[in-house]
Amino acid sequence: MTSPALEPDRIELAPGLQVPRLITGLWQVADMERSGQALPLERAAQDLADYARAGLDAFDMADHYGSAELITGRFLRDWRGQRPAHAFTKWCPEPQPMSAERVQAGIAERRSRLGVERLDLLQFHWWDYTHPGYIDGIEQLMRLQEQGQIRHLGVTNFDTDHLRLLRKQGAPIATNQVSLSLLDRRATGRMSALCQAEGMKLLAYGTLAGGFLSERWLGQSEPDSVADWSKSKYQRFIDAIGGWDAFQGVLQAARTIASKHGVSIAAVSLRWVLEQPAVGAAIVGARLGESEHRASNLAVFGFALDAQDHALLNAAFAQTRNLPGDCGDEYRKPPFLTASGDLSHHLEQLQRPYHAQPVAGLAERSRVATGSQWEQIGGYSRAVRQGARILVSGTTATHGAGQVVAPGDAQAQTVYILDKIAASLQALGSELAHVVRTRIYLRDIQAWQGPTEVHGRVFAEVRPANTLLAVAQLVGNYEVEIEAEAEVPPTPRRFISSGSPYEAMAGYSRAVVEGPWVFVSGTVGVDMATGVWPSSTREQAQGAIDTIEAALQQAGLSLLDVLQVKVYVADRADVGVVSDVIRERFGPASPTNTTVCAPLALPECRVEIEVNARRRAL
């Protein structure tokens, strides 16, 4: 006697959108058609009908998945099942200005190929966050949603910070489609926490690692080459987690669990994904007309993983390396874990939002404007390059001429600002890796943690000097403003740490040594070894300068090499005391000095000091 076929569990992915928790992915259509021969439309549509009759009546595709949209359109035209079938497609435009006409044309093409008046779920992809066109793209898609052309909006391969930015911008994002599997667990951290907090669902792809998560590969030697695009991609994932031996450890753990429950390794892999709290559904790829695993995949709904199963998998995970970065990073930065491998050439060809212009009469100087109304009003540039040095103006989350991005949210505004700074540097032949100093000005010092953590993620490997402080007000309805300085190589660079825990958290160094220059971060008077704060302002100022002096000595300099001092005092009444200390310690060097009264990040802190120094010629 055969067991009755299992029905897939279903979930309300978004209001009114009930779908099975296994979605059939059609990415393989592009691989099957790479010879230039399209799949037979009618036969492929019948294959989709077979999936739908098994309860797997939701299909995922994209504008670049060969004829997948056309096949699905033919299937939808003829489908007469008990439930409506659903088509989820993606639009992946190359970054450039996103006019209403361009967005409308992209969505009209998706609707035409699918033969529908309204798209069930339109998922938006953006290649390069330094191009701010995705803000306009989402806003135009929201207008089309209001007009009834799109039922629900999703994104694909967005990282946590930029997905959060879109939500704080008011975008009604229902889903984010990301890689998630026993080999790639990036989405189980901050991404899952955000989705749970904001009521979004993850659509997980790569759940079976292109077929590698199966009995076929257990105990086998690593293949010298693989035939299809999917396995080419996930072989890179295997290399990134520690190689074939690490992969075999995960596979063996999954096999032990599969034997216990009487299911396949694929079922265990899918079950683990579906039990992640933010996951709405898992996407399983299909090679139409070649093979199908509907019955074995449906077995995922006949069991659950227990604590012992999770412990076994966690032990195997501990023997692997975590994939670097956040969701979607594999398409935007090394290591490029894609079917095509290194995408840097493609990314370098993408349109840039800003362009450098020469400054009349100054042969070595160039500048960048971003179109902000404040640049025109104030008569300044977003960034200026003179030789190897680049100075970036205080930058706010101003989109276009004057739109405030993510009003009221300092963390989301920091994400947008650092992208804008990165784009300005790119226009001048530089990049974030060349930044030697940043300054963060907050309207509300209580909001310091979000911007600090974003800065830490962006500059984790760069570690520039940094100062963070509050100001009474910012010009405009902004929560944060950031300025930056960069030095373009080939000048050698080294980093100096004082051991402060905030350096690692915020991604900065106590001092950055760039050729003859030393840039020292805003430094407070706490004892770095004990964490004890001196009780008097004078002692804090002396302690801060002691830390600065120690950093300079590590660079082979002294206080006599300091050219510029900036002092931030929490209480105006302490300016005289601090000035006395500055004169005593820096007087022989006669540096320039600016003293500003501003709230500081920690209540114990009374003074913060930063300096620039330059090695003297011998």
Whether 458 and 418 have beta carbons less than 8 Å apart is answered as yes
To 5 degrees, how large is the angle CA 48–CA 54–CA 58? 50
Judge whether 134 and 159 are in contact, CB under 8 Å. no
Give dist(CA 390, CA 425) in Å, integer: 8
Q: If pLDDT is split at 50, 70 and 90, which confidence band does 4 have? A: low
pLDDT in tens, 348-370: 899 999 999 999 999 889 999 99
Cβ-based neighbour number of residue 478 at 10 Å? 22
- Under a CB-based contact definition with an 8 Å cutoff, are residues 41 and 71 in contact? yes
Residue 291 belongs to what H/E stretch? none
Report the pLDDT value the prediction gives residue 339, as an integer from 0 to 100.
83
Question: How confident is the model at residue 363, as a pLDDT?
Answer: 86
B/e letters for 195-223, b = 16+ CB within 10 Å, e = fewer, are beeeebbbbbbbbbbbbbbbeebeeeeee
Contact 233, 255 (CB under 8 A): no
Q: What's the rounded Cα separation, in Å, for the pair 554 and 350? A: 42
Q: How many CB atoms lie within 10 A of CB 266?
A: 24
Please report, as a single letter, which amino acid is at residue 612: N
The pLDDT tens digits for 105-145 are 999 999 999 999 999 999 999 999 999 999 999 999 999 99
Dihedral angle sign, alpha carbons of residues 433, 439, 443, 446: positive
3 pLDDT more than 70: no
For the chain, state the CA radius of gyration. 28
Three-state secondary structure call for residue 195: helix
Phi, psi angles (nearest 5°) of residue 228: -105, 160
Q: CA-to-CA distance for 327 and 224, rounded, in angstroms?
A: 28
Query: Could you report the per-residue pLDDT of 48-85, keeping only the tens digit for each?
Result: 999 999 999 999 999 999 999 999 999 999 999 989 99
Exposed/middle/buried for 472, CB within 10 Å: 0-12, 13-18, 19+?
exposed
Q: How far is CA 164 from CA 103, 197, 481, 494, in A?
A: 22, 10, 19, 34
Residues sharing a CB contact under 8 Å with residue 17, sequence separation 6 or more, in sequence order:
86, 120, 121, 151, 152, 174
For residue 398, how many other CB atoms are within 10 A of its CB? 23
pLDDT of res. 490: 75
N- to C-terminal Cα distance for the chain? 92
The percentage of residues in the chain with a pLDDT greater than 70, rounded to a whole number, is 99
The residues pairing with 225 across neighbouring beta strands, listed in sequence order, are: none
Task: Show the 3-state SS of 329-385.
Answer: HHHCCCCCCCCCCCCHHHHHCCCCCCCEEEECCEEEEEEECCCCHHHHHHCCCCEEE
In whole angstroms, what is the distance from residue 60 CA to residue 70 CA? Answer: 13
Q: Is pLDDT above 80 for 227?
A: no
Count CB neighbours of 588 within 10 A.
Answer: 11
What is the model's pLDDT at position 617?
Answer: 76
Among residues 190, 148, 198, which one has the least CA distance to residue 171?
A: 198
> 162 near 129, Cβ under 8 Å?
yes
Q: What is the pLDDT of residues 531-549, one digit of tens each?
A: 899 999 999 999 999 999 9
CA distance 53 to 571: 72
In the predicted model, what is the mean pLDDT of residues 208-230?
A: 92
| CA nearest neighbour of 164 among 453, 400, 409, 333 | 409
Which has the closest alpha carbon to 234: 183, 186, 268, 282?
A: 183
Residue 340: what pLDDT? Answer: 83
Query: Residue type for 109, please?
Result: E
Confidence of residue 618 (pLDDT cuts 50, 70, 90): low
Separation CA 295–CA 293 (nearest Å): 6
* 455-490 per-position pLDDT tens digit: 999 999 999 999 999 998 898 899 999 999 999 987
Q: What is the per-residue pLDDT for 57?
A: 97
At 179, the amino acid letter reads S
Q: Say how far apart CA 312 and CA 361 lie, in whole Å.
A: 69
The full set of domains in the chain, from first to last, is 359-490 (3.30.1330.40), 492-618 (3.30.1330.40)
- Is pLDDT above 50 for 523? yes
Q: Which of 31, 63, 438 is nearest to 227 (CA)?
A: 31
CA–CA distance, 206 with 186 (Å, rounded to integer): 12
- pLDDT value of residue 1: 36
Which residue in 584, 396, 604 sits closest to 481, CA to CA? Answer: 396
- Which pair of tokens denotes residue 361? 């009469």
Token pair belonging to 247: 């992969």
Write down the pLDDT at residue 206: 96
Task: Identify the three-state secondary structure at position 439.
Answer: strand
SS (H, E, C) 556-615: CCCHHHEEEEEEEECCHHHHHHHHHHHHHHHHHHCCEEEEEECCCCCCCCCEEEEEEEEC
Distance of CA 396 to the CA centre of its chain: 19
Cis omega (within 30 of 0) on the bond before 95? Answer: no
Q: Residues 6 or more apart from 350 whose CB is under 8 A from it?
A: 94, 95, 127, 128, 131
d(CA 254, CA 386): 58
Please determine, for residue 419, whether its predicted confidence score (pLDDT) is greater than 70.
Answer: yes
- The more confident residue out of 170 and 347 is 170
> Residue with structure tokens 């509907």?
294
The separation between CA 460 and the C-alpha centre of its own chain, rounded to angstroms, equals 13
Whole-number mean pLDDT of the chain? Answer: 95
Q: Which of 160-164, 192-196, 308-312, 469-473 has the lowest mean pLDDT?
A: 469-473
CA geometry: angle 388, 392, 394, nearest 5 deg: 160
Q: Model confidence at 2, in pLDDT bands (50, 70, 90)?
A: very low
CA distance 193 to 171: 18
CB 172 within 8 A of CB 142: yes
Cα–Cα distance for residue pair 276/212, rounded to 1 Å: 21
Q: What is the pLDDT of residue 305?
A: 98
What's residue 341's pLDDT? 84
Distance CA 236, CA 250 (A): 16
The label of the residue with tokens 């006697």 reads 1
For residue 174, the SS3 value is strand
Q: What is the pLDDT of residues 142-155, one digit of tens each?
A: 999 999 999 999 99
How far apart (Å, rounded) are the C-alpha atoms in residues 417 and 586?
A: 34
* pLDDT tens column, 258-308: 999 999 999 999 999 999 999 999 999 999 988 888 888 999 999 999 999
